[in-house]
């Protein structure tokens, strides 16, 4: 896991974990994490770059080390953010339930855990491995752009929707209109990405010539 956060005296830690490919990490990720930290009283937010996302073609994803380093560069100046190699070092498909279980193991269940993700991902939560257990042992923060409708979630869960809303919290983030795909496409077309991602990440991308060519248009 490569780190162990200190326990707070007299109470369990309240952590937010933010999983994603982070290919590349961008301002939308950082704004979401900081807003979630403040609104939900999180002690820390841990970014977890996926090692082998089961829903993505591995040939189309940048190397784990590139994605890990970019994420480290993006969060280094925030004392409440850190990055974990947990899924990268696992070398097997990255399932959220396995990551969540591991955190509870590390902290002997003395933990309040929030999983931070996008609203679109939440709409697919019934396809996640052991999603019922996930909703029992941790809470979710679903980030969306202003005006996004969660009516579809009501139809997915039906009568159970009211119970589900106790575990899924919605967070409006204007910067969610930015995406990693959008950044990759701009780079491939020779357009600027300034202010879309932190400057150290921007410089790392250019130095390592990431996302150039037709393979970046995805």
What's the pTM value of the predicted model, to 2 decimals?
Answer: 0.90
Is 201 among the domain residues? no
- In tens, the pLDDT along 157-202 reads 888 878 888 899 989 887 778 899 999 999 999 999 999 999 999 9
- pLDDT band with cut points at 50, 70 and 90 for residue 57: low
Number of domains in the chain: 1
Dihedral of the CA atoms 69, 72, 77, 78 (nearest 10)? 170
Is 32 among the domain residues? yes
The residues with which 170 forms a beta bridge, in sequence order, are: 142
Is 122 among the domain residues? yes
- In tens, the pLDDT along 76-87 reads 999 999 999 999
Q: Domain holding 63: CATH number?
A: 3.40.50.620
Has residue 156 got a pLDDT over 60? yes
Strand order in the sheet with 139-144: 81-83, 44-49, 13-20, 111-118, 139-144, 168-172
Range of the domain at 26: 13-178
Is 79 among the domain residues? yes
Is 41 among the domain residues? yes
pLDDT of residue 53: 63
Has residue 215 got a pLDDT over 70? no
Is 196 among the domain residues? no
């Amino acid at each position: 896991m490569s780190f162990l956060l200190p326990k707070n005296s007299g109470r369990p830690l309240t952590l937010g974990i933010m999983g994603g490919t982070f290919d590349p990490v961008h301002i939308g990720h950082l704004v979401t994490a900081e807003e979630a930290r403040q609104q939900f009283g999180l002690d820390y937010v841990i970014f977890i770059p996926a090692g082998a996302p089961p829903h993505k073609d591995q040939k189309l994803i940048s190397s784990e080390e590139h994605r890990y380093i970019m994420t480290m560069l993006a969060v280094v100046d925030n004392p409440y953010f850190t990055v974990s190699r947990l899924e990268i070092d696992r070398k097997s498909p990255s399932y959220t339930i396995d990551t969540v279980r591991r955190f509870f193991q590390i902290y002997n269940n003395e933990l309040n855990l929030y999983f931070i993700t996008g609203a679109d991902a939440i709409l697919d939560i019934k396809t996640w491995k052991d999603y019922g257990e996930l909703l029992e042992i941790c809470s979710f923060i679903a980030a969306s752009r202003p005006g996004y409708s969660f009516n579809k979630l009501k139809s997915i869960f039906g009568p159970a929707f009211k119970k589900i809303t106790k575990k899924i919290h919605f967070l409006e983030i204007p910067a969610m209109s930015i995406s990693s795909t959008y950044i990759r496409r701009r780079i491939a077309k020779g357009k600027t990405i300034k202010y879309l991602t932190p400057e150290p990440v921007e410089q790392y991308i250019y130095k390592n010539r990431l996302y150039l060519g037709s393979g970046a248009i995805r």
